[in-house]
Amino acid sequence: MTESILTEPFRLPCGQILPNRIAKAAMSEQLAHRDGTASDKLRRLYAVWASGGAGLLLSGNIMIDRDALTEPGNVILDDARDLDAIRAWTGSTAGTAAKMWAQINHPGKVAVSPFNRRPVAPSARRSPVPGYNIRKPRELTGADIDRLIRKFARTAGLAVAGGFDGVQVHAAHGYLLSQFLSPLSNLRDDEWGGDEQRRMKLLLETVAAVRETVGDEVPVAVKLNSTDFLRGGFTNEQALNVALALADAGIDLLEISGGGYEQPAMTGVAVGQASDESGDGYFIDFARQIRGHSTVPLVLTGGLRVPRAMESIVEDGTVDMIGIGRPLTFVPDYPRQILAGHTPTLPKSAPRLGYRPADGYLELAWHNNQLHRIAAGKTPQRTPGLHTIGRAITRISIAAGKQAVIPR
């Protein structure tokens, strides 16, 4: 029997070698302490995933500013006070070949917590989705933007000092860097907006600052939307131009995703998103577009469930790695089984309510509940119903109320 190409190591441009072609994609764990410190639950969760066979583990959101969280329970890394807790977390991979990278992020206008602070954004415009953004964001000044770039670089440096093997800059899913890329949310007419080139400037300067901080031998990756699935928003053509600019900037790995909480394409339920019956993944067409123009290393995440389809797109050079997220909340050793040639059985998707943003949130809450069980030393629930999802949403809502003010 021929060994799967997914078992082969992959050398990144910076020289780091990943032991195989499967990456555990980022999922927001919401397991930090109230002050944003990494917890023992995070360490236990990643120890399970580190032994699960993935060559690369991408953390969930690590926030660059404690005044702006994507959800309650995010890890915050904005100074050196919590490095011992970070080192305990990254130490969870000890004894395995897996590499662990920090995904660093700022939510911009979609900040959930602290709720008593006004969020910031490229422009003072709420989300077009009803009820999604209660608070109108404050438009960032040029000085604010300069500080944000420095904060991204600072968090990247702290992450590496804390034992992470690399850094991923989150520029997808409707968070701050993604907001700057979108003509729907970036209405500026200065050096940070007004046309396609200026809208991508913040991302490129952030990547450059991160690279300068961590050095040439530490991997610097970016997560990018193929499109945000919003009329008048970030298009596939614009995304391709950003991807090529990132390739020219010398990033080590580009992860392809799509959508956001307004149109949750990353969960497969966005308006206008084609169903994926081939098993090739939600965003395979965009991966092929990039590969037609660039050799930048690519990881494709979203909807990939069929081992032979995974092998095929790596064998033909479309992508270099496969990103897998939600399946690991039900089958923690999903990568190991895939590498052994098996197709693990997964439960069906969460029940649908018929409103796509809510359906996407329920899907995420359903899986979030399972990773919380793993972190507590329990086994995932294979057949949770609406009552389980309700408990997950209640837990998240209660946490949001408790964390209205983040201790400094």
Segment 3-58, tens digit of pLDDT: 899 999 999 999 999 999 999 999 999 999 999 999 999 999 999 999 999 999 99
Say which residues have a Cβ less than 8 Å from residue 143's Cβ, sequence separation at least 6. Answer: none
| Alpha-carbon dihedral angle through residues 145, 151, 157, 159, given to the nearest 10 degrees | -120
Predicted local distance difference test score (pLDDT) of residue 403:
38
Q: Is residue 363 part of a domain?
A: no
Q: Is residue 83 part of a domain?
A: yes
CA 299 vs CA 95, 219, 332: distances in Å: 25, 14, 20
348-354: which pairs have CB atoms within 8 A and are 24 or more residues apart?
349/268, 350/389, 351/385, 351/386, 351/389, 352/269
Predicted local distance difference test score (pLDDT) of residue 113:
79
Give the model's confidence band at 275: pLDDT under 50 very low, under 70 low, under 90 confident, else very high. Answer: very low
Give the model's confidence band at 400: pLDDT under 50 very low, under 70 low, under 90 confident, else very high. Answer: very low
Residue 202: phi and psi, rounded to 5, are -60, -45
Mean pLDDT of 185-206: 97
When mean pLDDT is compared across 15-24, 275-284, 340-349, the lowest value belongs to 275-284
Mean pLDDT of 390-407: 44
Q: Is residue 355 part of a domain?
A: no
Q: Is residue 358 part of a domain?
A: no
Q: Is residue 297 part of a domain?
A: yes
Is residue 178 within 8 A of residue 260, CB to CB? The reply is: yes
Q: Is residue 172 part of a domain?
A: yes
Is residue 136 within 8 A of residue 120, CB to CB? The reply is: no
- The C-alpha atoms of residue 127 and residue 133 are separated, in whole angstroms, by 6
Output the CA angle 9-281-264, nearest 5 degrees.
120
Give the domain range for residue 139: 5-346
Q: What's the predicted TM-score (pTM) here?
A: 0.89
Quick check: bond before 114 cis, omega within 30?
yes
- The C-alpha atoms of residue 378 and residue 398 are separated, in whole angstroms, by 22
What percent of the chain has pLDDT above 90? 67
What percent of the chain has pLDDT above 70? 81
Residue entry with tokens 């995010």: 74
280 versus 254: the higher-pLDDT residue is: 254
Residue 10: both structure tokens together: 């992959």
Predicted confidence (pLDDT) per residue in 97-113, tens digit: 999 999 999 999 988 87
Mean pLDDT of 140-168: 98
Predicted confidence (pLDDT) per residue in 207-252, tens digit: 999 999 999 999 999 999 987 756 677 898 999 999 999 999 999 9
Check whether 175 has a pLDDT greater than 70.
yes
State CA 281 to chain mean position distance. 16
What are the residue ranges of helices labelled H in 225-355? 236-248, 284-291, 307-315, 327-330, 334-339
Check whether 64 has a pLDDT greater than 80.
yes
Predicted local distance difference test score (pLDDT) of residue 395:
46
- The C-alpha atoms of residue 62 and residue 72 are separated, in whole angstroms, by 12
Specify the number of domains making up the chain.
1
Mean pLDDT of 352-361: 58
Is residue 86 within 8 A of residue 77, CB to CB? The reply is: yes
Query: Is beta strand 220-225 parallel, antiparallel or unpaired with respect to 120-121?
Result: unpaired
Predicted local distance difference test score (pLDDT) of residue 88:
98
Q: Is residue 104 part of a domain?
A: yes
Give the domain CATH number at 77: 3.20.20.70
Q: Is residue 246 part of a domain?
A: yes
Residue 79: both structure tokens together: 């100074």
Residue 101's Cβ-count burial label (10 Å; 0-12, 13-18, 19+) is buried
Mean pLDDT of 269-286: 60
- The C-alpha atoms of residue 242 and residue 225 are separated, in whole angstroms, by 10
Phi-psi region of 320 (alpha: psi -120 to 50; beta: other; left: phi over 0): alpha
Q: Where are the beta strands (DSSP E) in 122-188?
A: 138-139, 166-171
Predicted local distance difference test score (pLDDT) of residue 233:
76
Check whether 116 has a pLDDT greater than 80.
no
Predicted local distance difference test score (pLDDT) of residue 4:
94
Residue 26: both structure tokens together: 């980022």
Give the model's confidence band at 401: pLDDT under 50 very low, under 70 low, under 90 confident, else very high. Answer: very low
Mean pLDDT of 345-372: 69
Highest-pLDDT range among 258-262, 329-333, 388-392: 329-333
Check whether 129 has a pLDDT greater than 70.
no
Query: Is beta strand 22-24 parallel, antiparallel or unpaired with respect to 120-121?
Result: unpaired
Beta bridge pairs of residue 11: 17
